[in-house]
């Protein structure tokens, strides 16, 4: 009886996990909420799982500059990373937001925003 209860709990846990198993952002460069003194050549986002490398604009990186201008970075997916070349036209001091959208291995779209500051 106890074994069945444990098994039921295990199945419930696994089920919860699989419904949330898109992927998650693990780390970024620049680091989220960091203050940096010079801009990077590349923006790098590392996810927990390999991304789907789809053609078109599914996997995308955009930057919102301190003065509110949005630019799409030229980016590419490699395994669990999305890497974008910094747009040199974006160089003013202040708050930058990186908006990302990626295709998780289960086909779901995962998106979000990270912020960093240039002093």
Q: Which residues bind Cu ion (CB under 5 A)?
A: 22, 106, 108
Q: Nearest distance from residue 31's CB to Cu ion, in Å? A: 26
Nearer to Cu ion, 66 or 105 (CB): 105
The 10 Å CB-count burial string (b at 16+, else e) for 76-90 is ebeebbbbbebbeeb
Q: Nearest distance from residue 47's CB to Cu ion, in Å? A: 13
Q: Nearest distance from residue 22's CB to Cu ion, in Å? A: 4
Distance separating alpha carbons of residues 53 and 55, to the nearest angstrom = 7
Nearer to Cu ion, 43 or 104 (CB): 104
Which residue is at the shortest CB distance from Cu ion? 108
Distance separating alpha carbons of residues 73 and 60, to the nearest angstrom = 8
- Please tell me whether residue 7 adopts helix, strand or coil conformation: helix
């Amino acid at each position: 009886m106890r074994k069945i209860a444990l098994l039921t709990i295990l199945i419930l846990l696994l089920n919860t996990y699989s419904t949330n198993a898109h992927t998650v952002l693990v780390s970024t460069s620049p680091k989220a909420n960091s203050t940096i003194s010079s801009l990077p050549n590349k923006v790098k986002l590392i996810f927990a799982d390999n991304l789907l490398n789809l053609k078109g604009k599914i996997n995308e990186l955009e930057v919102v500059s301190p003065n509110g201008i949005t630019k799409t970075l030229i980016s590419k997916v490699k395994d669990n990373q999305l890497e974008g070349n910094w747009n040199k036209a974006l160089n003013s001091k202040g708050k930058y937001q990186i908006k990302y959208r990626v295709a998780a291995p289960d086909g779901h779209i995962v998106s979000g925003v990270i912020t960093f500051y240039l002093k």
